[in-house]
Amino acid sequence: MRIIAGTFRSRALDAPSGLATRPTSDRLRETLFNVLAPRIEGASFLDLYAGSGAVGIEALSRGAMQVTFVEQAPAALKVLRANLDRLKIAAGFRIHAGSVASFLRKPRAGAVGRAAEVNLDAGFSIVFLDPPYDAAEEYAAALGQFGSFSTGLLATGAVVIAEHRRKQRLEPQYGALERTRLLEQGDVALSFYAAKTVSEPE
């Protein structure tokens, strides 16, 4: 794997060995960030099920202000930290070494790293999630959490992107989240969601 564009363009990244972690391919990352290009500069980016960190590191390379990585597998965490060290990325990120469910319950707790000067209480502007393809309950739980107005996890105008099998159809709506775009590439797909705006009372 390599960083596609930005400050760390063409730099190599390691991936965890074995089949437990499935890195997002370079081609799919390029497609993803082509869509996100107008949003990425200065973004607060949340990389769930981060694995090697390739997606979040790509976001940092392209100008994201802050990336929060969430990963619980020890082997993947080791590779993630090694990738950050190799690129000499010493600031602008946080790592939550635990489950996505625990992070979504308490997003400010348990994360370590040198955060950029960004107000995380304002919520994340871009969220990317790539759970194991067979873990349908993970998709439903995470997207449902983001679709709840009460969580405060998302900034105004935020986008949530889920990577999944092309044949696996996610719901068009999870609470306040509505799918706005579906991109298919080979056997995989990216579902883009945005939160519905709440109408002001007259």
Question: For the segment 30-46, what is each residue's pLDDT rounded down to a tens digit?
Answer: 999 999 999 999 999 99
In 3D space, the residue among 101, 111, 106 whose CA is nearest the CA of residue 153 turns out to be: 106
pLDDT above 70 covers a percentage of the chain that reads: 85
- pLDDT of 176 > 50? The answer is yes
Give mean pLDDT, residues 169-183.
95
Average of per-residue pLDDT values in the chain = 87
What b/e sequence results for 125-160 when a residue is b if at least 16 CB atoms lie within 10 Å of its CB, and e otherwise? bbbbbbbebeeeebbeebbebbbbeeeebbbeebbb
94 burial class (0-12, 13-18, 19+ CB within 10 angstroms)? buried
Considering only residues 23 and 71, tell me which one the structure prediction assigns the higher pLDDT.
71
pLDDT tens by residue, 88-114:
999 999 999 999 999 998 765 555 665
d(CA 200, CA 202): 6
- pLDDT of 118 > 70? The answer is no
In 3D space, the residue among 45, 78, 67, 79 whose CA is nearest the CA of residue 115 turns out to be: 67
Residue 110 has what pLDDT? 53
pLDDT above 90 covers a percentage of the chain that reads: 71
Residue 200 has what pLDDT? 38
Q: How confident is the model at residue 115 (pLDDT cuts 50, 70, 90)?
A: low
Identify whether the C-beta of residue 190 lies closer than 8 Å to the C-beta of residue 161.
yes
Q: Which tokens go with 98? A: 């635990």
Identify whether the C-beta of residue 14 lies closer than 8 Å to the C-beta of residue 52.
yes
The residues spanned by each domain of the chain are 28-195
Which residues make Cβ contacts (< 8 Å) with residue 3, sequence separation at least 6?
Answer: 9, 10, 11, 13, 57, 58, 61, 87
d(CA 56, CA 46): 7
Sign of CA dihedral 101, 104, 109, 112: positive
pTM of the model: 0.89
Give mean pLDDT, residues 19-36.
81
d(CA 157, CA 161): 13
CATH no. for 28-195 = 3.40.50.150
